[in-house]
Amino acid sequence: MQVKDIAQVLEAFAPLRYQESYDNCGLQVGDPGQEVTGVLLSLDVTEAILEEAISRNCNMIVAHHPLIFSGLKSISGRTYIERIVHKAIKNDISIYAAHTNMDNMRRGVNAKIAEKLGLQNTRILSMKSDTLYKFYTYAPQNAVDKVRDALFAAGAGDIGKYRECSFNTPGSGTFRPDTTADPAIGTPGGPREWVDEVKIEVIIPKHLESKVLSALFEAHPYEEVAYEIIALQNQNQEIGAGMIGTLAQPMPEADFLQLIKVNMKTGCIRHTALMGKSIQKVAVCGGSGSFLLRDAIAAGADIFITGDFKYHQFFDADQRIIIADIGHYESEQFTIELFQELLNKKFPNFAILLSNFSTNPVKYFC
């Protein structure tokens, strides 16, 4: 198994295309073709994590937070980042990051938080637009099933919890082959042909455009395949920030805060004033989620759980919602379990190890 095989599994789940513009996901240090002896999973890449990888015979680290966010002008050991990069290269250790692309997946970081809290009926809190295409193609009646199946196999036609969604319209197509053509129907230089065809319409995510086109050209009988791709502004139910769901039963505020403390393994919760109401609808966002407060309020959430709220931002709750700041690390610490589940499913007999260290730079004096 090679580094690129590990990356392929992670990117099939969380394509790099969906990382935020400020982010730097993907392979940061290493050779994609290097054979992997073991993978160490961590939230961050620190010098202690690098030492752990060496001691546990892991020559690849998969982390949630990128080690390198911006370009390095030197690798002279002046900072911990430069020291880690230098030592990783010397020891042939690859470093890979899956950050906001993993945050933005419906079954990603926030789904793991929702799972820990027992939330049901979950959906993305702030769905992204401009991530979908409407895809049209036309196939003769005797090839419709083959073409449609090929599109589905390439990932076309997925809408929310439904697969193989399409709309099909019968009609008549015309074409006249020129003398250099090699037509599936008709003869080179022959007369205009009329063919009973079906227009196939499907939705495709933008990152699958090339794959879907390759499948279309492989399955379609025509020498020249007609198709159209139209960008949509529809919200994508599978991609976006945060998540909202409901508890099976309403809970008193203090009881739910205690549940958060235990299930999210945090010793401290900063929160706004309790309002004397039951908690049932819960919004969450791993990491720094204050930008989603308005979305959480608009969605009718009773409480919003995230990290990194600033002092004055707590006032923005305005007695409409409880803000529960559990800390950046605490909200994302279970991401490594998500990595492990993805990789173990694909490589069940390979060494995929969870780090034994907390990389949380924030300490509490309680």
Domain boundaries, the chain: 3-99+334-354, 109-126+240-326, 130-234
- Quick one: tokens of 74? 């030197």
- Asked if residue 366 has pLDDT above 80, the reply is no
**CB neighbour list of residue 165: distance below 8 Å, 6 or more residues apart:** 157, 158, 159, 202, 203
**pLDDT tens digits for range 26-83:** 999 999 999 999 999 999 999 999 999 999 999 999 999 999 998 888 999 999 999 9
Cβ–Cβ contacts within 10 Å for residue 65, how many? 20
CB atoms under 10 Å from CB of 179, counted, come to 8
Residue 260: half-sphere exposure toward Cβ, Cα within 13 Å = 28
Please answer whether residues 285 and 125 qualify as being in contact, where contact means their C-beta atoms are separated by less than 8 angstroms: yes
Residue 161 clears pLDDT 90, i.e. is over it: no
Residue type at 324?
A
pLDDT in tens, 264-303: 999 899 999 999 999 999 999 999 999 999 999 999 999 9
Region 335-340: what's the mean pLDDT? 98
Backbone angles phi, psi at 192, to 5 degrees: -60, 135
Residue at token pair 């250099």: 180
Task: State residue 54's pLDDT score.
Answer: 98
Torsion angle in degrees (nearest 10) through CA of 185, 186, 189, 190: -150
Percentage of the chain lying above the pLDDT 70 cut: 100
**Whether the domain at 3-99+334-354 and the domain at 130-234 fall into the same CATH topology:** no
Q: What pLDDT does 22 receive?
A: 95
| Residue 171, pLDDT score | 97
CATH class of 109-126+240-326: alpha beta
Question: What mean pLDDT value characterizes the chain?
Answer: 97
Cβ(107)–Cβ(113) below 8 Å: no
SS3 content of the chain, % helix, strand, coil (to 5): 30, 30, 40
pLDDT recorded at residue 365: 84
Q: What is the C-alpha end-to-end distance of the chain, expressed in Å?
A: 46
Which position has the token pair 């929160």? Answer: 271
* CATH class for the domain made up of 3-99+334-354: alpha beta
Please give the Cα distance from 37 to 351 (Å, whole number): 8
What's the CATH code, domain 130-234? 3.30.70.120
Asked whether the predicted pLDDT for residue 145 surpasses 80, the reply is yes
Res. 108: pLDDT tops 90: yes
CB 359 within 8 A of CB 43: yes
Cα pseudo-dihedral 75, 69, 324, 115, rounded to 10: -100
Please state whether the predicted TM-score (pTM) of the whole model is above 0.85: yes
